[in-house]
Homo-oligomer: A and B are copies of this chain.
Amino acid sequence: MLTSSEENYIKALFYLQQKASKGVSTSSLAQRLDTKPSSATDMLQKLSEKGLVDYVKYKGALLSTDGYQLAAHVVRKHRLWEVFLVKTLGFSWDQVHDIAEQLEHVHAPLLVEKLDAFLGHPRRDPHGDPIPDKNGQIHQVEKALLSTQQNDQESILVSIKDANDDFLKYLNQKNISLGAFIKVIALEPFDGSMTVEVNHETHYFSSTITNNLYVQSL
């Protein structure tokens, strides 16, 4: 069985290696986990010993098949617990990440399956991220950043790229949640900012915002 720390590392690798097709660097791993590169090196060596990570000194690391499987399972737990916290206990989507960060480390296979069944086998978490199935399979959905949408394009908000609490609170304040109807009214090529209509209310979004919202075109 993995320690919480090991699980946090493979989960971080899981996220980081999605974008970067090459090996994940020690520094990016350390940064994501809010620790030091030397600590990340130590852990990569250990995970490599255990066969969970393919790691070449100075070249970065990638999850092995086993490691990927385990990471997907931790992500599954994390996202199922987030659904539970929001749907069952009534937390708002900006309150659940840190709690799920702890709950994901509870080891009890039957618990995960019972929770999944109780929640009705949800396919996405409260931030629109897909929940890996029992076998670690992830069903990605077609989606695009709002920033890539053209004038007059209509779409539905399906997920948040970086669901940090501050951004989620910003959306709360503007009454914007997943499933919102979004229409691009005007595009400012100068700085990439946008005027949009969300559920028939007008908003002005900087490119930071539009680069953090995934939508599905209608």
Contact = CB atoms under 8 A, between A and B. Distances in A.
B114 A106 contact: no
A111 interface: yes
A111 B98 contact: no
Interface residues of A, number: 18
Nearest to A95: B110
Interface of A: 85, 88-91, 95, 98-99, 102-103, 106-108, 110-111, 114-115, 118
A114 B90 contact: yes
Give the number of times this chain occurs in the complex, counting copies.
Answer: 2
A144 to B, nearest CB: 35
A90 to B, nearest CB: 6
Name which of A89, A99, A108 has the most chain B CB atoms within 10 A of its CB: A108
A124 to B, nearest CB: 21
Contacts of A91: 110, 114
Contacts of A111: 85, 89, 99
